[in-house]
Amino acid sequence: MLLSLRVKNLALVEQARIEWQPGLNVITGETGAGKSILIGALKLLLGDRAERKWIRAGADACGAEAVFDVSRLPDLPALLDELGLPPPEDGQLIVRRIVKESGAGQNLVNDSAVTLGALKRLGERLVDMHGPYDHQSLLDPAFQLDVLDAYGGLGAARAAYQERHRQALELDAQRAALQGGDEEVAARIDLLQFRIKELEEAAPEPGEDEAVAREHAVASHAQRILELGQGVLNALQDGEGNAFDALAGAQRALDELARLWPEGAAWKDEARETARQIQALAESMRSALDRVEADPARLDWLDRRLAMYQRLKKKYNADAAGLVRALDESRAALKELQQRGERLAAIEQRIAAANAERLAAGRALGKKRRATAEKLAKAITEQLRELGFPHGAFSVELAETPPGPAGCDAVTFGFAPNAGEPRRPLRDIASSGEISRVMLATKAVLAEHDRIPVLVFDEVDANVGGEMGLAVGRKLAELAKSHQVLCITHLPQVAAQGRTHFAVVKRVRDGRTFAEVDALDQKARVDEIARMLGGKDLTRVTLQHARELLAAGGAQP
């Protein structure tokens, strides 16, 4: 249930707060007074696209806030949890929307930021809105099928069919991908075979590209490296007058020096350590130089191997490890293409099975729809007779079709408004006034089967009047016994049926126009109903008629 709606700086409304009540809440006012602003604010809170032009002149932002009592919606906590929102406190859900002149706006549910998508999903559980043009949706076969399934509680059967339909489409897509054009597949096979041959001949190994580059850098300067290295060895240990021999002579002198001068003992030890280091360095260099080959054949092989890696790395945009992976992937892709005949045969079998399952699910759904169609037609016919069609007849006809997204059925709503007339498709015969009443009858029937607590009707009584207006008002009052109903109306017959009455009025203060919402007491209701009957100039006759309408609607004048 909607407890309150607060609007700030939205179009002509500077500040407004409406405390809604259970049952039928009616909203009236002169044309252009701003009644639609309230519905616009509610739509804004339920995820409609915002426009900055709605911000009242002189303000830098506009906003709306709605408080819902959701204590009787047991399924809502699961949706809130799915949306990452905390459970409602004290059974209330507070939805806020702020639209700013510059910068991003805000969408809040119980002070937690949410997306517009989340607001829409919440709105679908909280409010069912019917605007002045929504009755045209009743002419849409897809909407008609939704109505039938909703009335019959066929959501599970429809979901089961749709899962089979999804699986069948997925298999069709796999088959199409496998089939392709023969020329395209042949070209793909040729390309893969060439790639595999090229990579197999190259025989790449992970890390080999880096190792070859390092060895090539040494081999290309091998002769000079050996020459320089031998020169260093000669200086250290191998040549005449080398450092090691010189140190050996120095050590002999230091032995005698140490005997003659005790302080020389430390120099003796240092000289011995230096000689050991020279010997170790020479051995290390000799071992390393032994591995350096000045072999033209080896250098030629390294040149070719390095060039191969450079070419393939550029071509495949991969290092040696990536080339190995490319080879493995190419082999797997070639195998898959070469085996596509076998795979196609297997998929054809799966498609046949999936199509059979889809058809069975579609026919099972269709059987339930046919059992529901007669009941729905009877229920809507009964509602229409209360809405001014005493001899009207409504029908729901189904025809089998190839499997589609919603099943294997095409539905047609038929209507004969008068006795003796054949039923024809609704889209062919209904006037706008008639289709509005058919939509109201449909809503009345569906309201018994859904859990959406708030129903909003924006000028559902368009193009009707007189006794028909009274019938529409009574039907709305009947709906309000099981749902909270908000209704914008221009008919006094409908307004008189309301349990709670609000009037939207335009007032001018300090040269500016303000739209304001007044909650009417009984005396004010009489004046408002009388205005709707006869204009601003209230007369004794219109006031008496207003009292009679209110009394007939159950209100005390």
Tokens of 553: 């609607």
State the greatest distance between any 2 C-alpha atoms of the chain, in Å, as a whole number: 147
* Residue appearing with tokens 């426009």: 51
pLDDT at 557: 44
Report residue 546: phi and psi, to 5°.
-65, -45
Cα-Cα-Cα-Cα dihedral of 269, 270, 272, 275, to 10°?
Answer: 180
What is the number of H-type helices and E-type strands within the chain?
Answer: 19, 15
How far, CA to CA in Å, does 351 sit from each of 52, 157, 179, 340, 409?
52, 21, 14, 16, 21
256/265 Cα distance (integer angstroms): 10
Specify the 3-state DSSP secondary structure of 89: strand
Give 462's DSSP letter: T
Q: Beta strand 393-404 with 484-488: parallel, antiparallel or unpaired? A: unpaired
The CA distance from 25 to 525, in Å, is 13
CA distance between the termini of the chain: 27
SS3 242: coil
CA 547 to CA 536: how far, in whole Å?
Answer: 16
> Cα–chain-centroid distance for residue 511?
46
Composition of the chain by helix, strand, coil, percent to 5:
55, 20, 25
3: buried, middle or exposed (CB in 10 Å: 19+, 13-18, 0-12)? middle
**What local confidence, expressed as pLDDT, does residue 430 receive?**
56
Residues 40, 488: Cα–Cα separation, whole Å: 12
Can you name the residues that pair with 518 across neighbouring β-strands? 503
Q: Backbone dihedral region of 89: left (phi > 0), alpha (psi from -120 to 50 degrees) or beta?
A: beta
For 374, the 3-state DSSP assignment is helix
* The two three-digit tokens of residue 21, written as one number: 């009540």
Residue whose entry in the numeric block shows the structure tokens 């990579």? 199
Q: What is the value of pTM for the model shown?
A: 0.64
**Which H helix or E strand runs over 532?**
helix 522-534
Q: How many CB atoms lie within 10 A of CB 93?
A: 23
Residue of 462, 459, 466 whose CA lies nearest to 431: 462
Q: Secondary structure of 385-440 in the HEC alphabet?
A: HCCCCCCCEEEEEEEEEEEECCEEEEEEEEEECCCCCCCEEHHHHCCHHHHHHHHH
Helix, strand, or coil here: 220? Answer: coil
For the stretch 383-426, pLDDT in tens is 988 888 888 889 999 999 999 999 999 999 998 888 777 888 87
Q: CA 389, CA 40: separation in Å to the nearest integer? A: 33
Which pair of structure tokens corresponds to residue 234? 């000669």
User: Residue 5's CB: how many other CB atoms inside 10 A?
Assistant: 21
At 434-475, the pLDDT tens digits run: 777 888 888 888 877 767 889 888 877 766 667 778 888 888
Angle at 475 between CA 470 and CA 480, to 5 degrees: 125
Name the token pair of 15: 């500040």
Pairing of strands 484-488, 500-509: unpaired
What is the C-alpha to C-alpha distance for residues 528 and 508, in angstroms, rounded to an integer?
Answer: 19
Residue that the structure tokens 């006759």 belong to: 541
Burial of 241 (0-12, 13-18, 19+ CB in 10 A): exposed
Strand (E) or helix (H) holding 81: helix 76-82
The structure tokens 């409504």 sit at: 394
Phi/psi at 487 (5° precision): -135, 120
Between CA 158 and CA 508 the distance in angstroms is: 55
pLDDT in tens, the chain (557 residues): 999 999 999 988 889 999 999 999 999 988 877 888 888 899 999 988 888 888 888 899 999 999 999 998 888 888 999 999 988 888 999 999 999 988 888 999 999 999 999 999 999 889 888 876 566 677 888 889 998 998 999 999 999 999 999 999 999 998 887 776 667 777 888 899 999 999 999 999 999 888 888 877 777 776 777 777 777 787 878 778 788 878 888 888 888 888 888 877 788 888 888 888 888 888 888 887 777 776 777 778 888 888 999 999 899 998 999 999 999 999 998 887 777 778 888 899 999 999 999 999 999 999 999 999 999 999 999 998 888 888 888 999 999 999 999 999 999 999 888 877 788 887 776 566 677 788 888 888 887 776 788 988 887 776 666 777 888 888 899 889 889 999 998 889 999 999 999 999 988 888 888 889 999 999 999 999 999 888 777 778 888 988 988 888 765 44
Angle of CA points 297, 300, 303, to nearest 5° = 155
